[in-house]
Amino acid sequence: MHALEAAAFAAEDSTQDFAGALLAGLHAQPKRVPCKFLYDAEGSALFERICELPEYYPTRTEMALLKEHAAEFARYMGPDVELIEFGAGSGRKASMLLDALEQPRLYMPIDISPDAVAAAAGTVWHAFPRLKVVPVEADYTGPLALEPQRGQRRVGFFPGSTIGNFPPDEALAFLRRLAELLRGGGLLIGVDLVKDPALLHAAYNDAAGVTAAFNRNLLARANRELEADFLLDRFAHYAFYQPVARRVEMHLVSLVQQQVHVCGQAISFAAGETLHTEDSYKYSVLGFHSLAAQAGFLPRATRVDPEHRFSLHWLEV
Ligand code: AVI
């Protein structure tokens, strides 16, 4: 058996986790819930649609950067690597990278959503039938119990600027864990950049309302899984750029004074009260390099699109 096949990922009971986190967040002041719970099957499908929206520039900009620079990044990575993708997405970006890599040994997508893991694994299996693919359904933000490396270089892939969904202290802690996991190899990571707030506002307030549906799906998920009774049209999607903290905040704002029930518990919302569902931090290139260096990585190559919207970083460790 391959060393990584024996990886002991305890797939958590995500419904139970969701119940605990949502109840704790609804009793907190201000109310909030970790953004990872936006991604059940429905939420992951809505996020895939967000990635296709004209206003949502990150996905296509990152894809263009990958297309242009995959060969260069692959040279930095070297031959015979094991590619571990944190947050599997659709597998399309990983396929672009695998295509450029010399004799990759393994592809391991890790994602909390079983559908996302299956989609990524399926796409890559289809494109590279001889490659060993080891899909892992797990919360990669928690401790990852990969077996010690034996020989092959491990390369991490963390596209999409998902690092921006971590508060800065958690981003640092997470990158430190990755540095431990990938020692002797490196990490290719996509990072969204600070820019004109109007562009950011449009990206998180698309005209078709897909981001609003993605946000409200959190309440729909609670209704499906936790016997909750949220009325979705009593909550407004509200997303805005906060330039001091350099983050887009996403909220669900209660339009009326109301009471809801989750797992049998009554929760009150005042009119105008918000449930904070996501932060999306934006970085400068230098700011991100400094974070990566604090985590123990050496930034070796950074590529940015001509409009300076998005960055890809090859970090060695
Ligand atoms: C997954 N993540 C990087 C997205 C972002 O842009 O922060 C999630 C998202 N939320 C609303 N639109 C997209």
Q: Would you write out the chain's pLDDT as a tens digit for each of its 317 residues?
A: 333 332 333 334 578 999 999 999 999 999 999 999 998 889 988 999 999 999 999 999 999 999 999 999 999 999 999 999 998 777 899 999 999 999 999 999 998 778 788 889 999 999 999 999 999 988 888 777 776 666 789 999 999 999 999 999 999 999 999 999 999 999 999 999 999 999 999 999 999 999 999 999 999 999 999 999 999 999 999 999 999 999 999 999 999 999 999 999 999 999 999 999 999 999 999 999 999 999 999 999 999 999 999 999 999 99
The 3-state DSSP class for residue 38 equals helix
Examine the domain organization and report whether 229 and 269 are in the same domain.
yes
Please report whether residue 271 resides in a domain.
yes
CATH number, domain containing residue 91: 3.40.50.150
Q: Token pair for residue 113?
A: 């959503």
Examine the domain organization and report whether 115 and 188 are in the same domain.
yes
Examine the domain organization and report whether 68 and 163 are in the same domain.
yes
Residue nearest to atom 5 of ligand 1 (CA): 280
Please report whether residue 131 resides in a domain.
yes
Examine the domain organization and report whether 175 and 240 are in the same domain.
no
Examine the domain organization and report whether 168 and 244 are in the same domain.
no
Is residue 280 within 8 Å of residue 250, measured between CB atoms? yes
105: amino acid identity, one letter: R
Examine the domain organization and report whether 271 and 154 are in the same domain.
no
b/e sequence 4-17, b meaning 16+ C-beta within 10 Å: beebebeeeebeeb
**Radius of gyration (Cα) for the chain, nearest Å?**
20
Number of domains the chain contains: 2
Is residue 203 within 8 Å of residue 317, measured between CB atoms? no
What integer pLDDT is reported at residue 148 of this predicted model? 60
Examine the domain organization and report whether 101 and 234 are in the same domain.
no
What integer pLDDT is reported at residue 149 of this predicted model? 60
Please report whether residue 7 resides in a domain.
no
Please report whether residue 176 resides in a domain.
yes
What integer pLDDT is reported at residue 7 of this predicted model? 33
What integer pLDDT is reported at residue 113 of this predicted model? 77
Examine the domain organization and report whether 171 and 31 are in the same domain.
no
Residues within a 6 A CB radius of ligand 1: 50, 58, 160-162, 164-165, 204, 211, 278, 280
Residue nearest to atom 4 of ligand 1 (CA): 162
Q: Cis (ω within 30 of 0) for the bond into 148?
A: no
Examine the domain organization and report whether 292 and 271 are in the same domain.
no
Please report whether residue 9 resides in a domain.
no
Examine the domain organization and report whether 137 and 114 are in the same domain.
yes
Residue nearest to atom 2 of ligand 1 (CA): 162
Please identify which residue in the block is written with the tokens 């970085």.
283
Please report whether residue 165 resides in a domain.
yes
Residue nearest to atom 3 of ligand 1 (CA): 162
Most informative mutation of 44, 46, 49, 50 for ligand 1 (most atoms within 8 A of CB): 50
Distance CA 313, CA 185 (A): 14
What integer pLDDT is reported at residue 147 of this predicted model? 65
Examine the domain organization and report whether 33 and 108 are in the same domain.
no
Q: Token pair for residue 210?
A: 């897909």
141 alpha carbon – ligand 1 mean position (Å): 16
Q: Which domain holds residue 75?
A: 57-195+282-316
Please report whether residue 240 resides in a domain.
yes
Q: How would you classify residue 94: left for phi > 0, otherwise alpha for psi between -120 and 50, otherwise beta?
A: alpha
Please report whether residue 48 resides in a domain.
no
Q: From the CA of 280, give the closest atom in ligand 1.
A: 7
Distance CA 34, CA 22 (A): 8
297 alpha carbon – ligand 1 mean position (Å): 25
Most informative mutation of 61, 278, 279 for ligand 1 (most atoms within 8 A of CB): 278
Examine the domain organization and report whether 179 and 214 are in the same domain.
no
